[in-house]
Structures are given as structure tokens and as C-alpha cells.
Structure 1
């Protein structure tokens, strides 16, 4: 996004709000589309006057093939028109509007490349908690009030390749669930506390924060309502957000992890593996832009980026992506991070 307009940066939040509205209305297919979609905004596609607003942007949605197949071909235009109208109902940005919404299928089953022939998924271990993947692992601690928000944050972090564990607020956790939480705490790379009113009345979230403090991982305390961080979290100044800003928060968190010395390489590794598994040209362009903004890559990250350029058609055929990534590979080496300061 160019930064010239405000609306493109708000689309992620609007999609999250639509998911909530569609879920409440029982519109299962629309909920699934906006919940699973990777989006790209084409700025200033239309210049005219609509509702006294001169600038129109297009929103291009890419969803898993299995989801796209649920939309009848004859209804595709109507679905896109409905999504466009609903996005414009949420948009309160002066001078800007959504002029078009498109819906494209990602490549492969559920938008992710199938494993090589004969490959077996890993069994057991931490991947049972986090799901398959590489890179940064983030523990999201919350109370029931922030459950939907936590899941939205998890969804937006996944667009950067970050894997998140959403801890459930359960007064009497089962032995099995306690084991899941413990495995996630033991293997996390970063901890985020989503603080709502009454957060510290739960002994479980305070214990989770204490574990994070003892483990020494980076901690972010996020103030969503009036309650300030307390207990183990009172030594951190809380970031402020709201229960409708999941997309903005995910962007802010990821930016901080890329800058942090303890999390930088794993955050970039998340991006690189997301690129390796990219299911669309739009997704590849978005991830390439994120990687290019870092200026230099650790060798392990550069290796995965090179693999993506070699193996994933959605990467090496995406317009502008190879040209954007290859200079990063030339700048990478054993001392590239140190040289870049």
C-alpha cells in the first residue's frame, strides 16, 4: 500500500467485522469466504464520484479452492457484489470507497501446495499444538470476552506465516487441555496478553504470564478495555488497541518482532515459509513486499526464499516478485545481518 490512502489499511478490519456479522446472521458461506480470504487492495482503480467520494479501490480476495467451489458459478458475480456493498457499508473513510471485489481460488488443496509424493506429515511433538510450519510461535493469552478477537488476531498473524496458540479461558481445564497449554508455553517464542476487564480474575492467565516471564520470551501486554496490566505483567507498559482492530494489531506486532533481536530471524522465517507455500500471485506479491522491506535476510531465511523462487509457480510467475526478491538473496550471507546494522 502506498500510504496515500487510508481505506486500504482498514480492509482487514472490515473483513473481520463482516465475518462476525455473517456468523451471527447464519450466512455460513460468506462467513467462510471472508474468514479464510487473503486480500490485496488495488488502489485508485476507479476515479469518479460515488456517494460524493472520488477514489475507488478494488479488493481482490483469494480463498482455498474448496471454499471457492462452494460458490455456484452463476452466483459468483452476486457474491462479489454483496461483499462490495457490505464493505462500503462499513467504510466511513471520506473520499474513498470500494469499487470492485473479486474472488479467486488459490492453487492446490485449500490454497496450500500438496506435500511431495510419499511425504508423511509429522506425528506428535509441538506441531500437534502449533500446526505444521516453521518460524515464529506466539502464545495469545485471553479471557472469554476477547475470544473472537484472539481468533481474529491469530488469523491475521497467519498471513505473515506466524503460528499462534489461542489459549482458552476454562475455569476447570481438563488434564488433556492443560497438557496442550503446557506444551505451547514450553515451545513459544513470544507471548501476547489480550487484557480485558476482569483479565486478572482468572488464575490461569496470570500463570501463563508468569511462565512467559520465567522463560524470558518477549512479552506484549495489550490493553483492550479499562483494565491495566497487573500481576506479572505490571512491569510492561501496555499497548492500546480495541476489540475491532485485529488486523492493525497483527501488523504492529509483526513489525515489532521483525525489529526485535530475539524474534527477527524466526519472524522472517515465517514470512519465507508463507512465501514458499503461497497459493496465489497476490499473496506472493504481498509477502515479497514484506520481505523486501527488511533490506537484508539471514542465510537460513534466504535459503527458503530461494526455494520458493525455484519451486513455487505462484512465486516465480508472479509479476515483479522475482525482481524484488533476488537483490535480497545477493545481499544475504554469513554476515549480512551484522553488516546491515
Structure 2
């Protein structure tokens, strides 16, 4: 039976979202097996790449690829991003026990300073919203999950299911050891010692892991560049430039975007030493780049 336009749209959107957390090589292996196109060079993100590569895929291979990724059509399968996710940020699900929601909220606020939007069920769901449905939406669309391992975490059916869902999707699953150690299927995953640390320290460690992880570093690199280009103060420009210096990923369009920010964003242009730092970053990643002159570097 032929797919309806709605079913094709659902499959393509869901497939792109399911493959987005994977590495480029993993994506190409899967696309190639199902007869989709692949390319050696791509300047955009994984989502746009997958959408473009499966654009001409026939109904049968599209069905087969969707089945491989456990995607179903129908009302419940249509991607409906939760309203609490912030566009242009990394989306992280914080799995925690309800009695520890205060610390989860503190970590949520600390992560936000790095361009990471995190979901805390007991804070982000509207009172009249279907609680389980919103949690499912968050799990289906998050870029990563963090398990806050307080005493009793392994006895909660909800937290175990949240971790299992994320593991099944193949998104990065990190744990923060607070009272107990990682266990079960995610016992071998990356863990952080959170005992005696405040939310800011843990957030910094998580950010550092996400900027290096092959499944999150591309998106986070875009976020870092966006935040730098939109710096709203001298202090922001300085802080954001440090993150630009630490980029694990370099894309060709970054050179023009960073230089445009230096030339046209006054908070960047007049932040002491920042233009020189950015030019050094460009030179590091693109040794053949011609150095540009920057005028009026003295802040006022």
C-alpha cells in the first residue's frame, strides 16, 4: 500500500530526528543500507543532511528504514516538540526523583549558562498538561539524558524507564553519582562524581563532556558560535570567546560568521583582546585564512 503524504512526512521527520544524535559514519552506514544517498562533504547539521538524503527514497525502503528505527505512524507518532525546549540550545533530559527536584532545578539553571536547555519534569510541565505525554515528548526529542543518582533512583520505575528509553534511542546517557553508583545497562556509561559538588561545578563538567562527545559536539559547536556572535556585553563576549577557543568541531562557515561578529557586534569588537583571540582561532583551524584588520579595538 502506498504511503499517504502525511505518513511520508511523519516518517522523514522522525527518521531525521532519530538519526540526528548519531555520528556521521553511523548515519551513512544506515542510509546506505536502505538505499538512500550519502555525501562525503556536508556543511549543515545531521538533521538537514538526513532529510536531504532520504528525500527521494521510495515507499518500501522508507517503511523499512522507519521499522528499523521503531517508528510508527499515527497521531501518537507525529513529532510534536514540547514547548519547554528552547530553539538553538542543546536539549538535555534530567532524570531525577521528585524529592530532589530543587537540586535538579539548580542544575537546570547552571546548564542554561552554557546554552543547554534541560527538562525537569516537576518544573517544566504545565499543570493541565498530560504528565506522561509530556515526559514522552521530552524523551523522544532530547539530545542527551543525565541521571541524578540519589538514593532510591534504582527503585523508581519512572527513572529506570526514562534511562532505558534514552539508551534505546542511542543518545548520550551520563550519570551523576550523588548517593549511589551507576548500575545495570548504563553502569558502563560515562559517570561524574557529584558528591559534595554544587550544581555549577557539575554543569561545567557536563558541558565539557558534551562539547567533546561525538553525538553532541556538532550541535554544541553551533550553539557556541551562535552565542558568541550574539554576545550582548563585553563580559559575555569574553566568556563566549573562551568557549570558541575550546571548539572541538570546526565548520567552514564559522570563519565568516565569527569575523562578521567581530566587525559588526560592538560588544565583541570593543571587548579587549577578543578580536585577536578569534582571529587566532580562525588561523588555528584554517592556516591559509588571510588575517583581517580590526579597527577601534579599545573599549569605551
Superposition TM-score, scaled by structure 2 size: 0.60
Q: Give 2:35's aligned residue.
A: none
CA distance in 2, matches of 1:194, 1:240: 10
In the alignment, is the contact (CA less than 8 A) between 2:217 and 2:249 conserved in 1?
Answer: no
Aligned counterpart for 2:258 among listed residues 294, 300, 305: 305
Are 1:230 and 2:183 matched, yes or no? yes
Instruction: Give SS of 1:137's match.
Output: strand
Are 1:130 and 2:88 matched, yes or no? no
In the alignment, is the contact (CA less than 8 A) between 2:145 and 2:174 conserved in 1?
Answer: yes
Aligned CA-pair RMSD = 2.9
Pick closer, same or farther for the CA change 1:189–1:304 going to 2, 3 Å.
farther
In the alignment, is the contact (CA less than 8 A) between 2:82 and 2:138 conserved in 1?
Answer: no
In the alignment, is the contact (CA less than 8 A) between 1:136 and 1:163 conserved in 2?
Answer: yes
Deviation at 1:197, TM superposition (A): 0.5
CA distance in 2, matches of 1:296, 1:210: 29
In structure 1, stretches of 5+ residues that fail to align are: 1-123, 337-341
Instruction: Give SS of 2:276's match.
Output: helix
CA distance in 2, matches of 1:304, 1:190: 27
CA distance in 2, matches of 1:174, 1:146: 22
Pick closer, same or farther for the CA change 1:328–1:147 going to 2, 3 Å.
same
In the alignment, is the contact (CA less than 8 A) between 1:295 and 1:328 conserved in 2?
Answer: no
Q: Give 1:163's aligned residue.
A: 117
Q: How many residues align?
A: 207
In the alignment, is the contact (CA less than 8 A) between 1:302 and 1:328 conserved in 2?
Answer: no
Deviation at 1:300, TM superposition (A): 5.0
Instruction: Give SS of 1:318's match.
Output: coil
CA distance in 1, matches of 2:231, 2:160: 37
Superposition TM-score, scaled by structure 1 size: 0.54
Deviation at 1:288, TM superposition (A): 0.2
In the alignment, is the contact (CA less than 8 A) between 2:105 and 2:123 conserved in 1?
Answer: no
Deviation at 1:243, TM superposition (A): 5.9
CA distance in 2, matches of 1:130, 1:243: 29
CA distance in 1, matches of 2:80, 2:259: 28
In the alignment, is the contact (CA less than 8 A) between 1:136 and 1:267 conserved in 2?
Answer: yes
Deviation at 1:224, TM superposition (A): 0.6
Q: Give 1:209's aligned residue.
A: 163
Are 1:324 and 2:259 matched, yes or no? no
Map Cα deviations across residues 215-243 of structure 1 (whole Å, 9 max, x no partner): 00111111111x22234433436321136
Are 1:145 and 2:99 matched, yes or no? yes
Question: Please, which moves more after superposition, 284-293 or 208-217?
Answer: 284-293
Pick closer, same or farther for the CA change 1:169–1:228 going to 2, 3 Å.
farther
Aligned counterpart for 1:187 among listed residues 113, 137, 141: 141
CA distance in 1, matches of 2:257, 2:139: 27
In the alignment, is the contact (CA less than 8 A) between 2:145 and 2:166 conserved in 1?
Answer: yes
Map Cα deviations across residues 87-132 of structure 1 (whole Å, 9 max, x no partner): xxxxxxxxxxxxxxxxxxxxxxxxxxxxxxxxxxxxx953623123
Mapping of residues 33-182 of structure 1, within 5 Å = 125-126=80-81, 128-132=83-87, 134-168=88-122, 176-182=130-136
Map Cα deviations across residues 8-61 of structure 1 (whole Å, 9 max, x no partner): xxxxxxxxxxxxxxxxxxxxxxxxxxxxxxxxxxxxxxxxxxxxxxxxxxxxxx
Q: Give 2:229's aligned residue.
A: 276
Deviation at 1:325, TM superposition (A): 1.1
Pick closer, same or farther for the CA change 1:196–1:289 going to 2, 3 Å.
same
